Amino acid sequence: MMDIITNIIVKEDDIDDLEHVNNSVYLNYLEKARGQWFRRAGISFENMHVQNLATVVLKINITFIKEAKLGDLLKIKTTPFRLGNSSFEVKQEIYNQVEEKITEAIVTSVMLNKTERKSIPVIEKIARQF
């Protein structure tokens, strides 16, 4: 099982009128971290494109625990959680610079044949990470 850590610094564009990270921005943070997880697993989006494969997000269950503010250094931990036949889940946790958990999410993705737009079994390079 492969856990990875992604670091992100909160920028001015990430902040809303309440002077904290807007809820929609967290989804971008989590996506960046999942992209890094795929690359560390040896899965490039270019290679998947050539093979006519994709993963699509089916569901995100996210809990906002504490706020993040401008300049915070965030650490996103991405961990394989559950492997199905054509779907898989990763658990993602975001911590601030003082190691307080501020967000947690379970992201369910489905393996897809891009031409047929139908789910297929999870490819081996992903499955072996679980």
CATH classification at residue 106: 3.10.129.10
Residue 98: strand, helix, or coil: coil
The whole-model pTM stands at 0.93
**Average pLDDT over every residue of 47-67:** 95
Q: Which residues contact 60 (CB under 8 A, 6 or more apart)?
A: 27, 30, 105, 106, 107, 108
Q: Give residue 59's Cα distance to chain centre.
A: 11
Q: Would the pLDDT of 45 be above 90?
A: no
The C-alpha angle 101, 38, 55, rounded to 5 degrees, equals: 100
How far is Cα 32 from Cα 26, in angstroms, rounded to an integer? 10
How far is Cα 35 from Cα 8, in angstroms, rounded to an integer? 13
Domain that holds residue 19: 4-127
Specify the number of domains making up the chain: 1
- For residue 80, what are the β-bridge partners? 90
- At residue 83, the pLDDT reads 98
**Average pLDDT over every residue of 58-75:** 97
Q: Would the pLDDT of 47 be above 90?
A: no
Q: Would the pLDDT of 1 be above 80?
A: no
- At 77-130, the pLDDT tens digits run 999 999 999 999 999 999 999 999 999 999 999 999 999 999 999 999 999 999
- At residue 39, the pLDDT reads 92
